[in-house]
Structure 1
Amino acid sequence: MVPTLRGGGLSRLRQLNVLTAIAALRAAGPLTLSALAGRTGLSRPSTKEVVDELMRLGWVEETPPAQGTLGRPARRYRFRAGSGHLVGLDIGGHNIRAALADLNGVIISETRRPVEPDTPLDERLAAIEHAVAGCLALGGKTIEDVWVLAAGTIGVITPEGRILYCAAVPAWTGFDLAGHLRRLFPCEVLVENDSRLAARAEAVRGAARDVADAVYLHVGRRMGTAVIIDGKVHRGFGAASGEIAMLPQARLFDASEHLQSCAVIPEGTPPADAAGYTLAAARAGDPVALAAVERYAGDLAVGTSAMVLLLDPQVVVLGGGFSRSADVLLPPLRARLERACMRLPDLRASTLGDECVVTGAIDYAVAHLDDQHFTPDAPLPTPR
């Protein structure tokens, strides 16, 4: 977002010019002075002055000419996104994922650690630490290079980052996750509900880009939902928005059992693969698997139709691990919603899959960094 001028003297104008140039370079990549001037609306001499100042501060660097370039190419400049780093965490019931990204949110490395819902708390916390250490090592960085760590996890999360309630992982209930992460990692820490982070990823880089109002269905071995209102993920007064799965009548909490306990699943199939086997069999036309998918879609439609009737969204996004089988799941869900809703929204499949939460955590950290440091009323930080 390019900042707008709101009063002030020459120093204020210079600050806004700097932020305008940073925003343009972050959005468009390497630019010549002329191209940057065109994007910012500044004169070329003013653009040169701003770029020189940003280079002195360490936020902008000149890019080398491409190999094979003939003659003297125009100088091109880019934002030094690698001058700081961000970590995103997805702390789920069955997996812990960590990702390292630059300040523009470009992911550099990722790691995953398997856990189970009944994994003891100390082992779960150790897995978090190992996942972060692993992605840092793969990216050639240390925790001292990290500016913000954003974590998404299952359960009802208080605004302060404490897990108020978690049905899927009982040991998680009451745990001060933000406090623990702050003691563990010497950087700024953010904690948010995983489904809301997944919805944020869809809004930033997925199926809900440029969508004002959307319902996000986080479908997998457990169920979560989130809502986007006026282009922003809605947290609610107590940061508990979207927890419709907590209502038994919504039939969302146990819906995945239809896919995970289907008779077509061979004996001995690992629980992580059970639903995938059912969905593959349904795709192949197996009548038992197709019936299980119909039952799943029927349960999914109850809570989804309630959200659609309440919010009247433009889009419903099917995301999470099961979204890889959207070709099987969306047709029966669409048929059920057509019968229940006054107006059927556009149903879309996510392309982010299992990476939705960790990607949303990175996007959450980028947005927080922007709010803290790249706005007209915030001090520009010093690159590392």
Structure 2
Amino acid sequence: MGRLTGGDPSLLRRINSAVVLHALRAADCATLTEITRVTGLSRPTVEGVVEDLMEAGLVAEKAAEEGAARRQGRPARRYRFRAEAGHLLGLEIGPHRVAALLSDLDGRVLGAQAKEVGETADADERLERLRTAVAELLRRAGVPRSSLRAVGVGTPGIVEAGGIVRLGTALPGWTGLNLGERLSRSFRCPVLVENDANAAAVAEHWKGAATDSDDVVFVLAGLSPGAGSLIGGRLHRGFGGAAGEIGALHLLGRGVTPETLLSTTDQPLHPLDEQAVAAVFAQARKGDQQAVAAMDRFIQRLVHDVAALVLALDPELVVVGGWAAGLDGVLEPLRGELARYCLRTPQVTLSMLGEAAVATGALRLALDHVEEELFAVESKVAAARH
């Protein structure tokens, strides 16, 4: 496509379309007069844009309420944004399960599907389980695959732009996997791949414990914890997508691994064995001294890891998710120890979304992509300048 200029009619149409569509989406419905007033565009321009949007299937005329014509004469036509004009998927690919969320273009969740998967499953088997979950979800919701506008994906590992997993030790065969390309074979729409902790941070800011905070650290607590950070409400990925990999801090002169710290025997726990971890915490709650000591060691290490990120970013809020969010004895020690180590102690709370956090964040990333495509005037102006 040739370069657009400020006076290019096609650019003006795109900008006007985004402005009108944004106004309609923000309202339940609106008349042409109301759209004209809100957007500042001329009445003929609004009429033309609305007609084009109706032809594109993004806008529909809202049916008049029964009896309204008799009471008031013929009412003005009202128009609405068709959230059902497209659909979005948010996918989670984890060590023990794959999950999918389906929404409309307003982000309203229409269905969910999850399937267990073995931690030793290779990449092909794991992705096949995911495809099966997606197929079942779409079939149950009655949504054709062609209706999908974007797919977001959350997965463990350091994810580069384009969806390549540069390093992913939690899943067999994940390091070096071009996950974006593999999933693009199944979807004829953009596929956006993100680290799971980053996706969860986005989710908590959208619908969870961090809706009122723009400077947030989300800790995906596990034997190899990860973290996602929002700075000023925007996801901070770092130069190569490796920001928040606090699970690697034990390599800095501290040779004892987390799975050894939490063991009550001479043998370290398996890094992905969440049931074994839960058993140690359960024994600690019953007063088992070895388990109490192991839990204390683990929490102390977790505090050190989180404190490093808190000292660097000074967030307003720390949200703790992952399996630790469902176990007693984590939150209060974390608060107390952060108060000792940090110059300014942030608020600390548990995730409100639980195991749905990663898929929900992936869904939000897909929604962000579509909103940028449909509603963002700034991106259209910027594109015209390059």
Instruction: Normalising by structure 1, report the TM-score.
Output: 0.81
In structure 2, the residue matched to 1:20 is 19
* Percent identity of paired positions between Structure 1 and Structure 2: 40
Listed as ranges, the matches of 1:286-297 within 5 Å are 286-288=286-288, 293-297=295-299
Change (3 A) 1:217 1:279: same
Deviations 1:55-98 (A, max 9, x none): 34422223345689894577543211111111111001111001
**Inter-partner Cα distance in structure 2 for 1:252 and 1:23:** 53
Displacement of 1:139 in angstroms is 1.4
Distance change >3 Å, CA 156–CA 15, structure 1 → 2: closer
SS, match of residue 136 in structure 1: helix
Distance 2:300 2:21 in 1: 49
Q: Which residue of 2 aligns with 1:107?
A: 109
- How many residues get paired? 364
Matched, 1:129 2:114: no
Q: 1:195 aligns with which of 197, 207, 210?
A: 197
The two structures have a TM-score, normalised by structure 2, of 0.80
CA distance, structure 2, for counterparts of residue 123 and residue 44 of structure 1: 56
- In the alignment, residue 286 of structure 1 is paired with which amino acid? K
Deviations 1:234-256 (CA, angstroms, capped at 9, x unpaired)? 11111111112122158899647
1:71-110 aligned within 5 A: 71=71, 76-110=78-112
Amino acid at match of 1:166: G
The RMSD of aligned alpha carbons is 3.5
- Structure 1 gaps of 5+ residues are 1-5, 264-269, 380-384
SS state at 1:184 partner: coil
Using the alignment, how far apart are the partners of 2:242 and 2:232 within structure 1? 18
Determine whether 1:162 maps to 2:158: no
Structure 1's 143 and 13: CA in aligned 2 closer, same or farther, altered over 3 A?
Answer: closer
The 1-side partners of 2:221 and 2:199 are apart by 14
TM-superposition CA deviations, 1:125-165 (whole Å, max 9, x none): 21121111111112112222212122111111122211111
Equivalent pair of 1:322/1:353 in contact (CA under 8 Å): no
CA distance in 2, matches of 1:129, 1:253: 38
* Secondary structure class of the residue paired with 1:207: coil
Counterparts of 1:159-308 in structure 2, within 5 Å, are 159-220=161-222, 223-249=225-251, 255=258, 273=275, 275=277, 286-288=286-288, 293-308=295-310
**Larger relative contact order (CA 8 Å, sep ≥ 6):** 2
Distance 2:180 2:152 in 1: 10
1:311-326 alignment to 2 at 5 Å?
A: 311-325=313-327
Unaligned residue ranges in structure 2 (runs of 5+): 266-271, 382-386
Find the aligned partners of 1:356 and 1:372 in 2 and give their Cα distance.
Answer: 24
Residues 265-316 of structure 1 show CA distances to partners (whole Å, capped at 9, x for unaligned) of xxxxx9555555666777xx63336665544322210100111111111111
Q: Distance in 2 between matches of 1:63 and 1:310?
A: 51
Report the CA distance between 1:356 and its aligned residue.
Answer: 0.8
- Structure whose alpha-carbon radius of gyration is higher: 2
- Match status 1:153 vs 2:152: no
Give the AA of the match of 1:331.
E
SS at match of 1:171: coil
